[in-house]
Structure 1
């Protein structure tokens, strides 16, 4: 194989890796960072067995991979992956939190009202400790998934094939990553894929990966801390009460939790429509001065163009 052919397969232009290689660098960087803790585990440090510590370490590894790929490999800044200064505006994050929480809370309360879900008493426990633990576990876990799917890979795929392909690919991968969860069903995975589309939509209309993270976390935290329900089939503490399925699984989610039913899908549609209206209204009033990010991940900075560098 000639050097020129090899270069064409590797680079879209001098010094610029093709999309597939860039994503591979991101994955390898994350894998390498995640294995930093292996020697510590071998030393028998008990703290590493705690769920919130593992969740934080995984998040740190993907954050490192994002930093390395976007800054070192591409020569971009945090804005290229939706984490620049404008992405952290308090008003935007509050709106994202409401979007994620209401998307699951409203349909869940409707299902409770019609008897498809119900609350049952459980032994009292340390409610504050459970509350804090869910935050410590779910916040970094949600950020990990957003960085892994709707962060750097999403930006690269969007710059190469456009936002529809980026949304479709990352959403399907999002669903596949949940295949090993307890109580998984085809309808549950379909809803996880739909949630991927929902979160990609949040990412796109706000121009902020931070907003997608907050919406993701608010959704999960509302289920676990508010309703004491399973999150993607994974149980959390339920001091005082818990939510149980008393209707058809296709409607209320079954063992997967409320997010596995069609009620959650309806909630996502309604909540995203409200978010789209709200962000549009805020821009017209000058309350949200920045437009949705149109990142092409070009070497010279975000330009909104597609490179077609697959």
Structure 2
């Protein structure tokens, strides 16, 4: 009897008996393992296909990178959907009309802030710019084989998938589950704030290994991760964060700036930073310099204005820490029967 009680007590730490699903820390652990395993299997299949069919050209290489991001996101969402028993809207993926309005504003913001960087650096004499639609050799994407015009479109497709994938995984899944897991300890409001901070820090650390990264670049990207998290927790939708992230990366690349230390291989402008590296970010791009900090203020003010305009009030959505399950829980059933 004692042994049975002990096993039941251990089980209650792993499984929520009322909701009949793993508790948040265990769900995320299983999710990470299965998602990683799924990506390894997918990459292996692609590798076998490339060997058998002798696929090694630039079109295949670019397609492979885009497909890995797309497949990884699909696998991660699918596994999370089964493990969490949430609705897709609970991950910020309720693609209603407001979602697309948010996405459109995010795209505009993601174009406007890099344009502001370029204008300020030009005015300060910190950058030299010339019009030059061209492709260059890059270790990220082999775009030189496409020609400049097509390469611009291919790069857009790449960032659309890559940046959206990061938002779905970091904000949609991890932030949501972290908030839920912390809610029982610190309350829903503090849990959402803490989860936003934790995923913002994770976002910064994930860019630590990028070329020319520094403590300042990691700090800046952490702050931008907080801004992207705010886009989610103030709207309950990933539209604004996804639109902003996609357009920010794409516009930086087209303006000839490095994107988090990476040269993407095609640009509309030839941009050469001549100002202090501490300010411009040098080879890491604007995200690695002090120029990134005032942009956060502009971005935060724009977010505040948009949320107040579209949602009526700017408030933290505590329901992000409270899951909406796709099935009734035992407690719900008991309450209805009572």
Match status 1:91 vs 2:97 = no
In structure 2, C-alpha distance between the alignment counterparts of 1:281 and 1:54, rounded to whole Å: 38
Query: Which of 197, 210, 217 does residue 168 from structure 1 map onto?
Result: 197
Deviations 1:252-297 (A, max 9, x none): 1110012211222211221221221122122339xxxxx9572234
* 1:263 alignment partner, one of 275, 284, 291: 291
Secondary structure of the equivalent of 1:231?
coil
The structure-2 alpha-carbon separation of the partners of 1:39 and 1:90, relative to structure 1 and needing over 3 Å to count, comes to closer
| Deviations 1:181-205, CA, capped at 9 Å, x for gaps | 1111111111111111111111122
Q: CA deviation at 1:240?
A: 6.2
Counterpart among 170, 175, 190 of residue 219 in structure 2: 190
3-state DSSP of counterpart to 1:84 = coil
| Contact kept? 1:202, 1:211, Cα under 8 Å | yes
Question: How far, CA to CA, are the matches of 1:240 and 1:297 in structure 2?
Answer: 45
Q: Which runs of 5+ in 1 are unaligned?
A: 286-290, 303-310
Alpha-carbon distance change, 249 to 64 in structure 1, aligned in 2, over 3 angstroms: same
Q: Deviations over 1:71-107 (max 9, x none)?
A: 2122211111000133763322111112222233213
Q: Give the Å deviation of 1:206.
A: 2.3
> Which digits, 9 at most, give the CA deviation of each residue in 1:115-137, with x for residues without a partner?
11221466855331221121122
5+ residue gaps, structure 2 = 136-146, 183-190, 328-338
Are the counterparts in 2 of residues 202 and 272 from structure 1 also a CA contact under 8 Å?
Answer: no
Q: Return the offset for 1:239.
A: 5.2
Match of 2:37 among 17, 32, 36: 32
- 1:183 alignment partner, SS class: coil
Match of 1:113 in 2: 123
For 1:240 and 1:74, locate their aligned partners in 2 and report how far apart those are by CA, in whole Å. 44
Q: Report 1:135-214 matches (<5 A).
A: 135-161=156-182, 162-214=191-243
Match of 1:127 among 134, 144, 148: 148
Q: Within the alignment, does 1:42 sit opposite 2:48 as a pair?
A: yes
- Contact 1:182 1:256 (C-alpha < 8 Å) held by counterparts: yes
Using the size of structure 2 for normalisation, the TM-score is 0.79
- Give me the whole-angstrom Cα distance separating, in 1, the residues matched to 2:280 and 2:175: 31
The corresponding residue for 1:307 is: none
Alignment partner of 1:254 is 2:278? no
TM-score, with structure 1 as normaliser: 0.86
Of 122-131 and 53-62, more deviation after overlay is shown by 122-131
SS in structure 2 opposite 1:180?
coil
Residue in 2 that maps onto 1:308: none
- Distance, in Å, in 1 between the alignment partners of 2:317 and 2:111 is 22
C-alpha distance after superposition, 1:191-242 (max 9, x if no partner): 11111111111112222113211110010011012x1211101102245642
Which range moves more in the overlay, 104-113 or 187-196? 104-113
Counterpart for residue 102 of structure 1: 112
- 1:137–1:240 CA distance, 2 compared to 1 (3 A): closer
